[in-house]
Amino acid sequence: MDFPAFPSLRLKLPLYQSCGWFAIALGLIVLLGWVIGSPALTMLLPGSANTMKVNTAFCFVLSGWVLVSANARSRWQRRLRLSCLGIVVVIASLTLLQHVTGWNLGIDELLIRDRISPLGSGWPGRMSDQASISFLLLAASLNCSRSWREPRLICSQGLALVAAWIALLGLFGYLLSIDTFYLFLDRSTAIAANTVVGLLVLSIGALSLHPQKGLLAVLSSPSLGGRLSRVLLPWFLLLPIVLRGIKILSQKYWSVTPVVGDGLVALTTTSLLLALLWLSARSLNQQEEKLLVALQSAQEIERRFRQIVMQAPLPMVLHRNDGLILEVNDAWVELSGYRLEEAPTVASWVEAAYGTEAVPGVLQGIQAQYELAPGQRMSNGEFVLRTKSGTLRTWDFYSSALGTDEEGRILVLSMAIDITDRTLADRQLRNLSENLEHLVQIRTTELESIRDQLETAQRVAKVGSWAFEIATQTIQWSPQLFRLFGMDPCEPEPSFEEHQQQIDSRDRSYWLESVQRCIQEGIPYSIDFRVLWRDGSIHWVSGQGEAVRDANGQIVRLIGTAIDITDRKATELRLAEAEAQARLLIEKNPGVVYRFYPSLPDDKGYISPQIEDLIGVPPSQWDAGLARTWQDFLHPGDRDWVVSQFQAAVTEQRAYSFEYRMIRTNGQTIWVRDQGEILFEPDGTLAIQGLAVDITALKETGLALQQRLQELNQRNREMQLLGQFSDFLQACSSMAEAGQVIASFMPQLFPDCRGQLSLLQKEANLETLQAVVTWGQPTHTQSSFLLSDCWALRRGMAYLYHPGQVPGPACHHVQGAIAPDESIFCLPLSAFGEILGHLQFERLVTDTSSPGDSTARPLAETVAEQLALAIANLQLRETLRQENLRDPLTGLFNRRYLQEFFEQELSRAKRNGDNIGILLLDIDHFKRFNDEFGHDAGDVVLKQVSRALLNQVRASDVVCRFGGEEIAILMPGANIEVSARKADQIRQAIAELVIDYRDQTLPPLTVSIGVTAFPDSGITGDALLKAADTSLYQAKAAGRNCVVVSQPNWRKLEEGAIEKSSPIATTLDSSGSSS
């Protein structure tokens, strides 16, 4: 029996992702079953009486997603994985805590209430204890699997194995009908069969994240242990199923008793284990025999390889990286003369063969051999070494890395080829070849020098020579002549007929006529003609030819030269084109090109035809005198200056450029830009050459640009002011500060108008606009008006009233008659859909008045937006401040405000030597109202008492809800006597209150009040409040409905200051004793 290899599933997805998707699908199916109330979907496996719970299904979805996204690289996916693991841990931990403690934390039906029959479960919606433990183990395993470190991977796989064992335990419980296996700790909640399967799949997915590392390295390794574990693993997994099947069949078909069935199971188990043990032993024996055969075969191969190496004709040496030579073959000993025992190390052999001085360099080269990878080869090069007999030999070395020995040292096999004889023969042959080449080179150089000189001369001059034998009709060309006709000098000379075809058809007849005349009459010729190259290009050639006669005077040959004149012809053509273009440029140029000769008597020169478009005078009328006629059309205001500028340019002989005015024949004044230079003709005549261009339109454009620039500067100033305005508004802490900022910036933003800012006030269901800021003394504006009085507020958009210019009625809040040159511009101030106020401008210039006023209205609208946002922020800030400092039930200040205000007043009183009275009030029997009439009645009592207190105290006094039914009152400037009288007044006023609640009158109220004062009872806030609290408790102890005053040195109140019936009968000193 052979051991199987580690299984490799060919899936489109990795195994862990397949397990993850299975878990997600299982969880979603069960969740769907809970949503629609289907027990079949929650049980999923037939025959199972237990359902998977909602929290369990939700944990399956989250854990499955963690497996699917195990290789996620983005930050949000990693965070999502950690969040899913955290949720699983929380649910599993809380559920396990419920099982252990017996508590009900309310998470069992957190997602979906259990609408399916509980099937005997004590907690229908609770995850089983086995599932809780398994999910905790799997969450920890998946968290550890993110690391590639071996300890964390082992921990991860160990946790997954424990989770798998727990799942298998439940699966065996269902297979073997052992309820203990699937009930575990809490007997009231059994783990469902589909839960067991899902947990087993999740455990497999967690283990497959790193199948080649950690604990699984043994299972996946090709070693004997890995193969044995892969054989035993399926048997151990199938054994419980087989045993369960045997037990069921024996009881169902053979009617055996449970004892006999258990005996059959035990017998089967023992038999299977013995068979498995015997098969494993036989397999190990077979593997050992195979290994022994393989070892013997390897030893035989090694022996034969060693014999081949030792008998090889090439020198070979086996050495390792510690410098020890292990083996040398016979050829090595024969050629080098050194045996292994004579040179046992690499260093000793190198020293003997190369000498002491060469040892470092050679050893450095050998060291590179030990850095080769196993199986890699390298060529070390040729080396000259000295044998033991003293002869010098040339060896070509090659090295190959063989791997390592048992101790891990690197083995290298080096082989050498003796190339001494070949090197000597190569050297002799090379010397002979060099001598022959030297002689040939000398002769060739002499011949080539002569030819090169001729060719160089022809090439530099682009001249080619030719000779035509009349008798044979053959032509001889020089190499340069080939190049002139676009041919390779290596080609044969063309025939006379072929040469004729090289002449352009336009020049061929003229060339042939000249050549025939030279042949027949001996008349020399010199002509220019075009040549057609093979690539289709045309080149110009200047050819010369003359006849050569023999002793009898007969013409026997023609000789001549040809010169390449393509560049010259191209230059002539470019000059002609440039002249034509210059003429066209002058004629088409909108400017006037001129050339004057001031020194000539008749002032002859040139002026382009554009002068007629510029001045209205044709060029023919300028012949009498160009300079004088030009001066006639100069503007009288510029004439002297222009003449002086021309004279200065002539005197200094410099270029000029200036602008001036001229008058056309129709009387129109135009602007001209004139620029030119002073030249001298070849004969020394001075000339003024220039170009005059009409720039009238450019001047007008410049003026428009200047005006636009002024407007842009104005807009820039407005934007800067608007930015500063916005910054100040955002920095304001109150509406008063905002009013100062508005009054300061508005005259700068709108210097020609007056205005007013009004804010919306809501009182008694009446919305009015009240003026808060004005600037420029507006005359047509009311300080208070209704919301409906303004068309802008009604329509929710800006409104301009300008009599005679813009249609529309005047707003009702506008006072007096509006002059035709005046206007009223109203803008609603709104933010977040709520109207906050009204902004009005008088004499505001708008885009309906004049063309230059198009930006005034957008600026005003922008200012209105800024104001609306700033006002909204201020109002919101004030609202938040009030909410932070007020008690929401009574509307009184809260304890936080009391502490801040108390500290401020104490500091002020200490500086100025003032008094501060402190009253601490508590409603008697307040709990009775809550118990008898409810907490709503208590809230009504607190509100009525707070309202009564506010009516009794001064405007400068501060009333704060100190806590519960206790209320504190600070009275700046009040001494102990005034504070005591005020406390008694408050006590009497509250006793007279009549409070109705839900059609019934509540019992009468009484209060107990403790009174203290600064500096009599203390100098710190804590001491004063403590003294007041002590007085309050003393009043409670004295029977309630009384006032107790605390003071160290109490002097009696003047007689008659408090009525004798008043219950201020007791005061306390600092020690708390009655006086």
Residue 918 belongs to a domain: yes
Give yes or no for a contact between 532 and 502, defined as CB atoms under 8 angstroms apart.
Answer: yes
Question: Which residue(s) pair with 837 in the sheet?
Answer: 759, 829
- Residue ending a domain, choose from 676, 694, 712: 694
Q: Which of 157, 191, 222 is the last residue of a domain?
A: 222
The reported pLDDT for the residue numbered 285 is 72
User: Residue 555's domain is classified under what CATH number?
Assistant: 3.30.450.20
Same domain, 1064 and 943: yes
Domain of 926, CATH number, reads 3.30.70.270
Looking at residue 587, its pLDDT comes to 62
Are 449 and 545 members of one domain? no
Q: In one letter, which amino acid is 143?
A: N
Q: Cβ(947)–Cβ(961) under 8 Å?
A: no
Is 385 in the same domain as 509? no
- Could you tell me whether strands 669-680 and 592-596 are parallel, antiparallel, or unpaired per DSSP bridges? unpaired
Give the model's pLDDT for residue 240: 62
Task: Clarify whether residues 1023 and 925 are in a common domain.
Answer: yes
| Long-range pairs, 150-157, Cβ under 8 A, ≥24 | 150/213, 150/214, 153/210, 153/213, 153/214, 154/214, 154/215, 156/206, 156/209, 156/210, 156/214, 157/206, 157/207, 157/210, 157/214, 157/215, 157/216
The span from the CA of 414 to the CA of 367, in Å, is 13
Q: Are residues 845 and 811 located together in one domain of the fold?
A: yes
Q: Which 8-state DSSP code applies to residue 802?
A: B
811: domain CATH number is 3.30.450.40
Residue 707 located in a structural domain: no
- Per the structure, the count of domains in the chain is 8
392 inside domain? yes
Mean pLDDT by 10 residues, the chain (1075 residues): 41 76 88 78 63 84 87 79 88 83 71 48 66 86 76 80 79 66 61 82 82 64 63 62 62 65 69 70 72 78 73 82 84 81 84 80 80 79 80 82 80 82 80 77 70 61 79 83 83 84 87 88 88 87 88 87 83 74 64 78 72 79 66 87 87 87 88 87 82 83 77 74 77 78 81 85 80 84 85 86 80 81 86 84 55 62 82 75 75 84 89 92 89 86 89 90 89 91 93 88 91 89 90 92 75 34 39 32
pLDDT at 252: 59
Sign of CA pseudo-dihedral 342, 345, 346, 348: negative
- Closest of 66, 135, 57, 63 to residue 94, by C-alpha: 135
The closest alpha carbon to 923, from 1012, 1039, 1035, 1005, belongs to 1005
User: What integer pLDDT is reported at residue 984 of this predicted model?
Assistant: 94
Starting at the edge strand found earlier in the chain, the sheet holding 555-564 runs 474-477, 463-469, 555-564, 538-549, 525-532
**Backbone phi, then psi, for 665, in 5-degree steps?**
-65, -25
| Judgement on whether residues 89 and 29 belong to the same structural domain of the protein | yes
Give the span between the Cα atoms of 54 and 108, in whole angstroms. Answer: 8
Strand partners, 650: none
Residues 638 and 561 in one domain: no
What pLDDT sits at residue 117?
43
Residues 405 and 445 in one domain: no
Residue 1065's pLDDT is what?
A: 40
Same domain, 176 and 187: yes
3-state percent breakdown (helix, strand, coil) of the chain, nearest 5: 50, 20, 30
Rounded-to-integer distance, Cα 958 and Cα 968, Å? 8
**Are residues 977 and 1024 both part of a single domain?**
yes
- Backbone φ/ψ region at 323: left (φ over 0), alpha (ψ -120 to 50), beta: left
**363 domain-assigned:** yes
Is residue 977 a part of any domain in this protein? yes
Final residue of a structural domain among 845, 876, 907: 876
The span from the CA of 128 to the CA of 769, in Å, is: 69
The answer to whether 921 and 986 are in contact (CB under 8 A) is: yes
Residue pair 890/961 in contact by the 8 Å Cβ criterion = yes
| Token digits of residue 85 | 């693991």
- Can you tell me whether residue 48 is helix, strand or coil? coil
Asked whether residue 8 is domain-assigned, the answer is no
Q: Is the peptide bond before 1015 cis (omega within 30 degrees of 0)?
A: yes
Instruction: Name the residue range of residue 139's domain.
Output: 15-222
Assess if residue 489 is contained within a domain.
yes
Query: Is the same domain home to 531 and 654?
Result: no
714, part of any domain:
no
Q: Is 781 helix (H, G, I), strand (E, B) or coil?
A: strand
Q: Are residues 342 and 480 in the same domain?
A: no
